[in-house]
Structure 1
Amino acid sequence: MKRKILLFLLIIFIGIQFIPVELNQSEITSNNDFIAATNPSKEIETLLKTSCYDCHSNNTNYPWYDRVAPVSFWVRQHIDEAKDELNFSEWNTYTQKRKNHKIKEIIEETEEGEMPLESYLIMHVDAKLSIIQIEQLKNWLDTIKAE
């Protein structure tokens, strides 16, 4: 009986691999992109791409395990939710009021350790922001915020 259950689960696992999940990858970097629009230093650009862009842009770098169902389903849902909240690839489509609000939220969430998410940091340890990086990011974001 155990063997039949395991075989059934294996068949299900193999079967769900054939359910397509649209990847969040775009070869185009538009003028609407946050980095293109704000021209940060290389250090800030690297920080943003390492810690933020996988979930909050139109271009995710997928490790192999993010392509395996059911993980791929969860990752896609997570990215969709993140982009609904903030999409760096669409930055210049935001009003100035919305941009300022998003900058304020970025500062608050990084200072409070809410971003990047702990679930993301488990497999992306290089995305963890140090206190110094958070301060550098905050200082730079303050310079681009319009009154």
Structure 2
Amino acid sequence: MDSIKKKRTVRPVAILFLAVLGIFAGLQLFDKPIEGRPVTGKIEAPREVIAILEKSCFNCHSNEQKLNWYDKLAPISWAVNKDVERAREVMNFSEWEKLSPGEHKGNMYAILNMMQAGKMPLHKYTLLHPSAKISNKDIEVIRKYTLSLSGIAPAPVKKEEKDPHQDIKTGSVTSPENLPVSPNGVKYTPDFKNWKVISMSTLFDHSIRVIYGNDIAVKAVETENFHPWPDGSIVVKSVWKQQEQPDGEIRPGEFVNAQFMVKDSKKYTDTEGWGFAKFSGRDLHPTGETASFAKESCIACHRQLAEKTGYLFDVPMKVNTERLIKNLQKK
């Protein structure tokens, strides 16, 4: 009798196992391998930097996937393929030659910010790939390399130099035809110097950052109505290198860039309604070669780190952050 009961118990279990095995095998028929792409221009950096990126980033952000066997099995492979496709759109280390020097530097800052915030590599990825975890030593290597791209050593301000906001090349910025324009249509305007300062910040690159807002942006800050920010909002971050005086006082030194964010929800649908632009150096040259540069570099970092404040870094100082977050949670 006992043997008969055991047979009756084993049979349903065996049938269930075979059914699951059959379904699993059937899923493999619908598996689609990751699209193969050539390496057209791999990132060039010091060996120790490349080693970290290959260990923690290349499996998603490149055309050189080295997947484990379980990454290739459906349905896990479906999620892997989707993540790789999305990651390649944001940043691809195998097509680095498409980037301008400014975009190269901007991407490295984005990588550093994401690593320091613990956003990358993704936690769900490191659970299955523990060797991809980032250590503090790794972050320090990336930090030093990223800062080296900017040449952060404070430079003395020369008295004969003119304010980069007053003259562009050979023309006056008051003349519309001389105003530089970003590839996505965002135009530089010197008027922001007369706008209200809504926040200030500094960063590990020893910079001073002053954030200005136009009237629409300032009103949004005062009423805490910036999720989403109203169309027409313009926020400008003017970045300067720190210059330490003999008495220890820190003052703005060499001008670095002016970073614009213009809110137009209909025009900039791919970047959460924001038009990004960066005008660098004394000639205020715009970053990017095509209108899609912000989609490939800027917005990824803003989505990960600043979603709670409408994709804008450096929440204005007058905002009650705790109350704002509670209001957002109610929506």
Q: Which bin holds the TM-score, normalised by the shorter protein?
A: 0.7 to 0.9
Asked which structure has the greater CA Rg, the reply is 2
- Alpha-carbon distance between aligned partners in 2 of 1:138 and 1:53, rounded to the nearest angstrom: 18
- What is the TM-score with the length of structure 2 in the denominator? 0.39
Deviation string 1:79-114 (CA, Å, 9 cap, x unpaired) is 111111111111110233332321221110011111
Q: Secondary structure of the equivalent of 1:46?
A: helix
Consecutive unaligned residues of structure 1, counting only runs of 5 or more, are none
RMSD of the alignment, in Å? 2.3
Contact 1:54 1:60 in 2 (8 A): yes
Contact 2:28 2:74 in 1 (8 A): yes
1:22 to 11, 27, 33: 33
Runs of 4+ with >4 A deviation: 2-9
- Correspondence for 1:91: 96
Consecutive unaligned residues of structure 2, counting only runs of 5 or more, are 1-11, 152-279, 281-331
| 1:114-129 → structure 2 map (5 Å cutoff) | 114-129=119-134
| 1:68-83 → structure 2 map (5 Å cutoff) | 68-83=73-88
Higher helix share: 1
Give the structure, 1 or 2, with the largest relative contact order (CA under 8 Å, sep 6 or more). Answer: 1
Alignment length, in residue pairs?
140
Deviation string 1:108-135 (CA, Å, 9 cap, x unpaired) is 0011111111111112212111112101
Fraction of identical pairs, as percent? 28
Q: Cα distance, 1:29 vs. partner? A: 3.9
Contact 1:103 1:145 in 2 (8 A): no
1:13 to 24, 48, 51: 24
- Alpha-carbon distance between aligned partners in 2 of 1:54 and 1:72, rounded to the nearest angstrom: 13
Higher strand share: 2
- What is the TM-score with the length of structure 1 in the denominator? 0.82
- Alpha-carbon distance between aligned partners in 2 of 1:145 and 1:10, rounded to the nearest angstrom: 55
- Correspondence for 1:55: 60
